[in-house]
């Protein structure tokens, strides 16, 4: 069927061992022979069989990744960054989605392990029920949790420093003149929601009374609508700044405020979190905390590389500081008096 290394070796007049050595790295082969092997390979249009190589060398040069879903632009961008990073290192990427179901997730992890991926990247879809499968996987290959992490945190993790991000948003709002704040976020069902909420509470000292108005629902547009309506009930006491747990919520809030004729940013300022593509396209464009996705991906791959190469690397937990992107939904300067 397809041409094998044996035929290349024959044509080059060397043994398969030499051919193999010449083709992979070329160390320990006399230049003349290496030359002949490479030429023969080219002439025969030799395509190495990665499966056979993987079997013998116990290395597939591929990493597996499992995310809740890809249609979520946040994960999509993350996967893309990981793919690029992996491709740069000659690694293939086996992609699976858990669809937010820990059972499915476990099955996918298992399947990836059967396929003998060299390493795993996982965004745990549940902070507790994902534990067993992910820890089991971690026993067999280097595994890093990305973005989300397991409760109580075992294993390596690469994510964003949510507290710092929320703190930056709060500082910005206060600096821009907001005297009262509210937080609209998600119930802390996963580690990110938890960290963002913690971040808000931690920033409370900057603004007296900030923790009094904390509305928790889920990360959806509808929840943004509902929460905004709640805040609108008492127009006079409406806060001057609303910190949202993510951009989707913020967009819902923005829209509900617009419907009720509330001037953003003059009457109320709004911030989001993530910087999804449409944050920029909202009316007004949304000030938000940008997830450093490229850096997350790069760091995740780097962490794996470290654990692959150097034997018993300790578990790493890396939190990357995000960046505040200021747009028209907040003011840069204090309001004129």
Partner DNA sequence: GACATCACGGTAATCGTTTACATCCCCGGC
Partner DNA sequence: GCCGGGGATGTAAACGATTACCGTGATGTC
Catalog residues that contact DNA under the rule CB under 7 A. Answer: 1-2, 4-6, 13-18, 20-21, 23-24, 28-30, 32-33, 46-49, 52-53, 55-58
- Residue in 27, 28, 51, 233 binding a second copy, rule: CB under 8 A: 51
Nearer to DNA, 6 or 39 (CB): 6
192-231 residues near a second copy, rule: CB under 8 A: 221
Least gap, CB of 32 to DNA (angstroms): 6
Residues 3-42 close enough to bind a second copy by CB under 8 A: none
Nearer to a second copy, 94 or 144 (CB): 94
Residues 82-111 that bind a second copy (CB under 8 A): 83-84, 87, 92-97, 99, 108, 110-111
Vertex 140 angle, CA 92 and 297, to 5°: 40
Answer for which of 3, 70, 204, 319 binds a second copy (CB under 8 A) is 70
Span near a second copy by CB under 8 A; candidates 20-28, 52-60, 161-169, 295-303: 52-60
Binding partner at 16 among DNA, a second copy, none, C-beta below 5 to 8 Å by kind: DNA
Binds 83: which of DNA, a second copy, none (CB < 5-8 Å by kind): a second copy
Choose between 94 and 238: whose C-beta lies nearer to a second copy: 94
Which of a second copy, DNA, none does residue 24 bind to, with CB < 5 to 8 Å depending on kind?
DNA
Residue 329 within binding range of a second copy, rule CB under 8 A: no
- Least Cβ distance, residue 63 to DNA (angstroms): 19
Q: How far is the CB of 120 from a second copy (least distance, A)?
A: 13
> Closest separation between CB of residue 130 and DNA, Å?
26
Q: Which of 73, 89, 153, 209 binds a second copy (CB under 8 A)?
A: 73
Neighbours of 310 (CB within 10 A): 8
6 vs 153: CA distance, rounded Å = 49
Whole-number Å distance between alpha carbons of 300 and 307: 11
User: Residue 174 touches which of a second copy, DNA, none (CB < 5 to 8 A by kind)?
Assistant: none
Give the nearest distance from C-beta 97 to a second copy in angstroms: 6
Q: Which two tokens stand for residue 21?
A: 């050595």
Q: Which is nearer to DNA, 43 or 47 (CB)?
A: 47
Question: From the CB of 216, what's the least distance to DNA, in Å?
Answer: 48
Q: Choose the one of DNA, a second copy, none that binds residue 162, judging by a C-beta under 5 to 8 angstroms depending on kind.
A: none
List the Cα angle 252/254/259 in 5-degree steps: 95
Q: What is the Cα 257 distance to its own chain's centre?
A: 30
Q: Which does 92 bind (CB under 5 to 8 A by kind): a second copy, DNA, none?
A: a second copy
Q: Do 183 and 215 form a contact (C-beta atoms < 8 A)? A: yes
């Amino acid at each position: 069927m397809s041409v094998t290394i044996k035929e290349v070796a024959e044509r080059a007049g060397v043994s398969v061992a030499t051919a193999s050595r010449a083709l992979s790295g070329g160390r320990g082969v006399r230049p003349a022979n290496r030359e002949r092997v490479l030429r023969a390979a080219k002439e025969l249009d030799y395509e190495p069989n990665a499966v056979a190589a993987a079997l013998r060398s116990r290395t597939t040069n591929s990493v597996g990744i499992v995310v809740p879903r890809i249609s979520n632009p946040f994960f999509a961008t993350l996967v893309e960054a990981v793919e690029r990073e992996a491709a740069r290192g000659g690694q293939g990427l086996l992609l699976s989605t858990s669809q937010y179901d820990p059972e499915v997730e476990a099955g996918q992890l298992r399947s990836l392990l059967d396929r003998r991926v060299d390493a795993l990247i996982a965004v745990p879809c549940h902070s507790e029920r994902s534990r067993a499968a992910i820890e089991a996987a971690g026993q067999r290959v280097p595994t890093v949790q990305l973005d989300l992490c397991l409760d109580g945190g075992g294993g390596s993790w690469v994510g964003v420093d949510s507290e710092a991000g929320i703190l930056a948003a709060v500082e910005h709002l206060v600096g821009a003149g907001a005297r009262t704040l509210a937080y609209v976020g998600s119930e802390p069902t996963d580690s990110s929601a938890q960290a963002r909420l913690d971040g808000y509470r931690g920033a409370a000292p900057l603004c007296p009374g900030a923790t009094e108005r904390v509305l928790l629902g889920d990360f959806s547009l509808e929840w943004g609508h509902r929460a905004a309506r709640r805040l609108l009930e008492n127009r006079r006491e409406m806060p001057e700044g609303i910190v949202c747990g993510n951009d989707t919520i913020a967009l819902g809030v923005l829209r509900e405020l617009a419907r009720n004729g509330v001037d953003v940013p003059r009457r109320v300022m709004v911030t989001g979190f993530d910087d999804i593509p449409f944050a920029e396209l909202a009316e007004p464009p949304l000030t938000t905390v940008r997830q450093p996705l490229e850096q997350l991906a790069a760091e995740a791959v780097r962490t794996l590389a470290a654990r692959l190469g150097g034997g018993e690397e300790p578990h790493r937990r890396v939190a990357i500081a995000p960046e505040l992107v200021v747009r028209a939904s907040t003011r840069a300067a204090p309001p004129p008096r």
